[in-house]
Amino acid sequence: MALVKGIGERYLWVDALCVVQDDFAFQQSQISAIASIYSKALFTIVAAAGYDSNAGLPGVRTGTRSVIQQVVALENVTLIPVINVLGYGGIKDSKWKSRAWTLQEKLFSHRRLIFTTDQVYWQCRKAYWLEEMVLETVERPLFIGPYLSQHELEIEIPTSMASRSDYRQAYEALVSQYTSRQMTYASDMLNAFTGISSALAHLNDDIMLWGLPESQFSRLLTWGLDGHTRHGSTHRTLCQDGSEHNIPFPSWSWSAWNCFAHPPFRVFINRGPSETEPLIIFYRSSIEGKIVKINEFWNKSYGTGPPDAEALDSHDNNGLISQWIGKPRYDERAVRLAPGIEFIDSGLLHFWTSTATVYVLRRKAIQWSFILDPFRYEVLDTNGEVLTNLVHMGSTSDWPRHSPALCGGRPGKIEALISEEADVLAFDLAIVNRSASPPFLQALIIYWNRNIASRIGHATVSEAKWVKLENRVWQTVTLG
């Protein structure tokens, strides 16, 4: 308040005070408006000193900052030493920069006055200034690096999208940046991303489904993870009638996982320049059991809806697609929602797809401090042949070795692979997407609990190898 008064302004919005924590309905209204609040502010005051709110704003009051710079007066010039940038992290190492919640604050604020332990920074869309250096005449100083990460400075919410690819890349960059930060409560995974997802959705006339854009849903299902665990939290949802529901985060969304771990979450798999077509038709269901179709972007050369296998084969020229895509593809239970009808998403996905039981060979890996997963993996077919080694798995440390429940009925060749350093787990692969050049299939690695599947990993499989699998089944999958 002393700072605001000192610069001649009257109004101050403080998130910890203005977002009433014990009024859930009001809290949700403020979270939804967070992008507007920051973007319309004259500037944002960032308390980047210390580790909590008790650190205050060093330098605003006398005695709150202890930086000493000796002045050396020469004949024609006065010199002072700069702060030791090698031992001083400034913004780069601040707690503020590491928090997931503050990414929205950074992205939507047009101007930021940032207080660190030893000096104050000013950031706006055109300039980066700091207290100890005269930068008014420097367009983009190269020596800003020790204070601020250049990548951090440049990442921002786009104002327009030239193409579908631009939209996807912007989304992936923002999710990658978000999941590299820290969060205290996993239940806030989507809340702290609300402003970002709303801004992106507005640009592309899109909606977000548990953090994934509907328009490119199947492609963006193929994020990867290496040794991470599910956090098991629920997302608190407010209905129009005032009732509340705590809905478990679905395993198919990155928001269900402990992303904020070392090493950083591997958010999206690098599949090269090839575009994909959403061959699998996905549906989502409400907590009341209503099922609606997820509307992805379709390549207009195939018409207005999802292409059939024969049409794709005629475009692709390899004739493999019709060998694994079966029928039915549509869910006859689906309904069309009337405008204004509330839909509280249960987190369950429903889709027809090609599946197969496979064996995941789990070997102990060399342990390094920067590697989270103690295992490396290969996917084998039922004959023990390698189907793919392009595998990203969540943590399997709690999955018991040689469990009959998981690996019952293993063929002898698979059994022979088991040793003190390696064992085998049985999972299913479920195809969710396809890239045309080269022809690869993107599959989720899933396990079943009664009739509900959960995701534990992702694999990229050669389409030619997939169609040769003898145990392929076309079936409906409910994925939670």
Q: Measured between alpha carbons, how far is 457 from 440 in angstroms, rounded to an integer?
A: 17
Q: Measured between alpha carbons, how far is 152 from 93 in angstroms, rounded to an integer?
A: 12
Side chain identity at 392, as an amino acid letter? H
Q: Measured between alpha carbons, how far is 280 from 453 in angstroms, rounded to an integer?
A: 17
CB neighbours of 76 closer than 8 A, spacing ≥ 6? none
- At residue 276, the pLDDT reads 67
Q: How many CB atoms lie within 10 A of CB 220?
A: 22
The string of pLDDT tens digits covering residues 111-167 is: 999 888 888 888 887 777 777 665 555 555 544 444 454 444 456 777 666 677 788
User: Residues of the chain with pLDDT > 70: what percent?
Assistant: 80
Least Cα distance to 108 among 197, 217, 236, 218 occurs for 197
Q: Measured between alpha carbons, how far is 367 from 329 in angstroms, rounded to an integer?
A: 44
Instruction: Indicate the domain borders of the chain.
Output: 2-154
Evaluate the omega torsion of the peptide bond into residue 81 and state whether it is cis, within 30 degrees of 0: no
Side chain identity at 207, as an amino acid letter? I
Q: Measured between alpha carbons, how far is 471 from 468 in angstroms, rounded to an integer?
A: 9
Instruction: Output the CA torsion 122→123→127→129 (10° steps).
Output: 30
Tokens of 262: 């070392």
- Is 421 exposed, middle or buried (CB count within 10 Å of its CB: 0-12, 13-18, 19+)? exposed
pLDDT tens-digit profile, the chain (480 residues): 888 888 888 888 888 778 877 788 888 888 888 888 988 999 998 888 877 777 788 888 887 787 777 888 888 888 877 765 544 556 777 888 888 898 998 889 889 998 888 888 888 877 777 776 655 555 555 444 444 544 444 567 776 666 777 888 888 888 888 888 888 899 999 999 999 999 888 888 899 999 999 988 998 998 887 888 899 999 999 888 888 899 999 999 999 998 765 555 555 554 444 566 678 999 999 999 999 999 887 554 444 456 666 666 555 556 788 899 998 989 999 999 888 888 999 999 999 999 999 999 998 877 654 456 778 899 999 888 999 999 988 888 888 765 555 555 666 777 788 888 888 888 999 999 988 777 889 999 999 999 999 999 999 999 999 999 999 999 999 999
In b/e form, how buried is each residue of 198-214, taking b as 16+ CB within 10 angstroms?
bbbbebbebebbbbbbb
Tokens of 23: 């009024």
